[in-house]
Copies of this chain bind each other. A is one copy, B any other.
Amino acid sequence: MTIKALVWGENVHEQKSEVVADLYPEGMHAQIAKLLAEDAGISVDTVVLQDPEHGLTDAVLADTDVLLWWGHAAHGDVDDVIVERVAKRVWEGMGLILLHSAHFSKIFKRLMGTPCALKWREAGERERLWVVNPRHPIAEGLGEFFELENEEMYGEPFSVPEPLETVFISWFQGGEVFRSGLTYRRGAGNIFYFRPGHETYPTYYDATVGKVLRNAVKWAHNPQGRYEGVHDAPNVPVDKALEKIEERGGKLHKAGEEGFR
A residues sitting closer than 8 Å to B (CB atoms) are 13, 17, 19-20, 23, 72-76, 87, 91, 93, 101, 104, 110-115, 117-125, 128, 130-135, 137, 140-141, 144-145, 150, 153, 155-159, 161-162, 164-166, 169-177, 179, 184-188, 199-201, 222, 224, 227, 229-238, 241-243, 245-253, 259-261
Contacts and interface: CB of A to CB of B under 8 A. Distances in A.
Of the listed residues A232, A241, A252, the one surrounded by the most CB atoms of chain B closer than 10 A to its CB is A252
A110 B74 CA distance: 22
Nearest to A234: B119
Given A120-B233, A173-B243, 17 more contacts: A17-B252, A19-B251, A72-B260, A111-B114, A121-B235, A121-B237, A122-B252, A128-B175, A130-B157, A134-B188, A137-B224, A150-B248, A150-B249, A155-B236, A156-B169, A171-B171, A200-B251
A13 B250 CA distance: 13
A229 B139 CA distance: 15
A27 B113 CA distance: 30
Nearest to A222: B135
> Could you tell me the dominant secondary structure of chain A's interface residues?
loop
Contacts of A252: 13, 17, 19-20, 122, 199-200
